[in-house]
Amino acid sequence: MNNNASHPGITAILLAGSRPGVDPLAAAAGVILKTLIPVAGQAMINRPARALIDHPAIDRLVILTQSPQPFLNDPATRWLGDHPKIRFEASGRGIASSLLPLLERADIGLPLLVTTADHVLLDMAMLDQFVAQARGQDIAVAMVERTTLLARYPHSRRTWLKFRDGWWSGANLFWFGSAKAARIVGLWQEVEQDRKKGWKIIAAFGPVALLGAVTRISSLSGGIARVGKRFGLAARLVAMDQPEACIDADKPDDIVLIEEILAKRG
């Protein structure tokens, strides 16, 4: 356990639920869940799970999923149920509805670091940067600016949001440092079905944020800080140094690229 009172141990939340219906990636790989797809010889979930539990600032890992049984029944992921720092919790109908109760539970503990089970390239360096820059904030979100990604992976395709300070793509790392974060998570729950539609999410944070994005008079970092101030909390953008932070396993092309990167890492 992390016993430094000024830096309480982090609870990591790994989102490993599945959406309704058949996942085409899982079906093509012959597994029942996307997070069980083999990537470079490992079940997809294994690499981010190990990165999280190996990080010295993280005390515990909570895996949110509809049922733990697929993971406990699979020899490749059975270790998740045996590890003393890992527990499973039932996920709700969406990410925000799953997170809201956790923010209020004493047995979970704050701060929360949230990421996804398809964040296969997550590593110590990414976690070091994110934790260092998110500490002290009520909420923080990691993103990668387009030039950072394209300088190394010019053919990688991402979803971008355009602001004065660049084009940004999400890195699937979120920080909830205090119970105040529930105010933002509640809003997130309202627009969750539109999480891939950037303008609807921006509009939900108010007309000033929307106008700033449209006219490019607002930087993303400044906008996030102002949105936080509007809700009475400290909020920060963490601009990730590693381009791999925004490469998750959403498409077959992503998995090919991820395997190439892992092969170079050795």
Q: What is the pLDDT of residues 33-80, one digit of tens each?
A: 999 999 999 999 999 999 999 999 999 999 999 999 999 999 999 999
Name the average pLDDT for the chain.
87
Q: Are strands 38-39 and 42-43 parallel, antiparallel or unpaired?
A: antiparallel
H or E element: which one contains 116? strand 112-116
Report the SS3 class of residue 169.
Answer: strand
Q: What are the boundaries of each domain within the chain? A: 10-265
pLDDT for res 5? 45
Q: How far is CA 111 from CA 33, 106, 177, in A?
A: 29, 11, 4
Mean pLDDT within 211-238? 81
Identify which has the larger pLDDT, 18 or 262. 262
pLDDT for res 227? 82
* Residue 108: φ, ψ to 5°: -90, -50
Q: What is the pLDDT of residues 149-192, one digit of tens each?
A: 999 999 888 888 888 889 999 999 999 999 898 888 877 776 66
d(CA 117, CA 45): 5
Beta bridge partners of 167: 162
What percent of the chain is modeled with pLDDT above 70? Answer: 86
Mean pLDDT within 21-39? 91
Domain 10-265, what architecture? Answer: Alpha-Beta Complex (3.90)
